[in-house]
Structure formats: C-alpha cells, structure tokens
Amino acid sequence: MDKRVLALGLAMLVVGFASYAYLNETEPAGKADMTDEEKTAFNTDLVVNIGLRNIAGLVGGLGFFVTLISIGLKRRRKGGEGKTVTQKPAEI
C-alpha cells in the first residue's frame, strides 16, 4: 500500500464530501414576490450551486476510487526473484 496515494485519496474524499454537504446546506432560496431581475439572479445562483455540487461529488468519488486503488497497490521488491528464463535448445 502506498501511503502517499492513500493520503491523497482520503484528502480528496473528505474535501469533496465536506464541500458537497456545505453546498447542499447553503442552497439559495427564493421568495414569493420576486422581480424579473431577482428571478434571473436566483436562477443563476441556483445553477452555479448545482454545478459546484456536481464537481464536489466528483472529487469525493474520485477520492474514493484513489483510496481503493492505493489499498490494492503493493510495493515491488528490489532484487527479488525475477522471471525464469527458458532457453531454446541449440539447433545443430
């Protein structure tokens, strides 16, 4: 297991889902009597918030996959046994 990749994956996981939770809690709210300019600004803010939530979810998901990959990684031993070499018999 490579500890640097594991730390990267966990950091991405935490940052992604923490920002997703924050953006989910601070979603813009509309009012009953809004002018056209306020409606346009509200819709723009809503679209930006949804886009940022999607990006935060993707970062969290990628962090999860990086964490899984880092658990599966094994360090290669230097100088260990290699592949066996078989030679063809010499033809006469």
- The CA radius of gyration of the chain, in Å to the nearest whole number, is 26
Q: Which two tokens stand for residue 14?
A: 């935490």
pLDDT in tens, 59-85: 999 999 999 888 886 666 666 566 777
Domain edges within the chain: 3-29+45-72
Match 């990749």 to its residue by tokens: 5
Residue bearing the bigger pLDDT, 30 or 15 = 15
